[in-house]
Amino acid sequence: MQTLNQQLLDKVLNIAYQAGEHLTHFYSRSVEVQIKSDKTPVTEADLFISQFVTEQLKLLTPEIPILSEESCKIPLAERTHWQEYWIVDPLDGTQQFIDRTDQFSVVIGLIQQNTPVLGIIHSPILGKTYYAMKNHGAFLKENSHVQPLIKNCKIFDKSHRLQVTIGNTNGDKIHQAVRPPYQIELLQYGSSSLKAGLVAEGKADCYIRLGDTGEWDTAAAEILLAETGGEVFDLDFNPLTYNQRETFVNPHFIMVGNKHHDWRSTFHFNK
C-alpha cells in the first residue's frame, strides 16, 4: 500500500500542474468535440490529458492501477482485487470548457480499500488548486498563496438561509425538497469538483446533484470534505461507494460542509 506523505502529494500536485498547462494550451484554441455513447461531450483535450496523467502516474507508482474517465472499461471482476488505485477525471467540466466559462479542472484521486485518501482539484484558468490527504488536512492554493481549509463547524439556526450550489439541475426540485422553516439560495457554478471546492471553502453550505456523475467526479471531493468536516451522501443519506459495483455511475447526492448538522431535518427528496 502506498504510504501517504508530503513527498507523494507534491509529486502528484506537480503532475496536476503540468496537466493544467497542457489544458491551458488547448483552451487557447478551438478543439475537436465528439459525443460519447452516454450523450456527453468529449474533446481532444480530455483524451490528451487522460493519457498524459496516466503515463505520469505510471512512472510515479508503476504498481498502482489507474482508472480514468476516458479509459474505464475494466470489469468489476478485475477491479475487485485492487487494494488501491488512482482515479482520474482529466477534464472535469468538459461542457464548461466548451462553453468557455473557465470553470473546469483536472482531478486526481487515490483510493485505498475503497476509500478516497488523497485528492487534487486543479483549475488552471481560475488559478485555484484544492488538495487534501487523509489525516494531513486540506488546503487551497490560489495564485501561489496556500491556505489551510479549516474544519467547518457552521451551525444553522431556524432562520438561516442555506447557500446551495448547483449545476444545470432543475432548481424547482431542490426548492421542493427543502423542509420548513429552512430556506435556500441557489448558486450556479461550473464543474462538479469546483462546486465541492466552494463547499470546502465555506462559500456554499452544500452542493446538490440531481443528475448522473461518475466515481471520478466525487472521489477527490470526498477526501477534501472529509478533511474539512464535511461529508458526501446519496439522497437517502447513505455514503457513496467506490469500486464496488459494475457501473461507475453515482447515485444523486449531496455534498455538505458540516457533517454534524442534521441534514435529514433540512431536505427530503421524493425520488
**Binding-site residues for substrate:** 69, 91-94, 217
Distance between CA atoms of residues 179 and 185, nearest Å: 14
Determine the residue type at 134: K
Annotated binding residues, as ranges? 69, 89, 91-94, 217
**What number of other Cβ atoms are within 10 A of residue 5's Cβ?**
10
Give the Cα separation of 145 and 90 in Å (integer). Answer: 24
The binding site for Mg(2+) consists of 69, 89, 91-92, 217
- C-alpha count within 13 angstroms, C-beta hemisphere, residue 162: 31
* Residue 189, amino acid: Y
CA distance 27 to 172: 33
Q: How far apart are CA 256 and CA 222, in angstroms?
A: 10
φ and ψ of 41, to 5 deg = -80, 150
- 187: cell is 448558486
Give me the phi and psi of 88, to 5 degrees please. -130, 135
Cell of 164: 446551495
Name the DSSP letter for residue 238: P
Q: Using an 8 Å Cβ cutoff, are 122 and 106 in contact?
A: yes
Q: DSSP characters for 183-231?
A: EEEEEE-SSHHHHHHHHHHTSSSEEEE-S--BHHHHHHHHHHHHTTT-E
What gap in Å lies between CA 20 and CA 57, rounded to an integer? 15
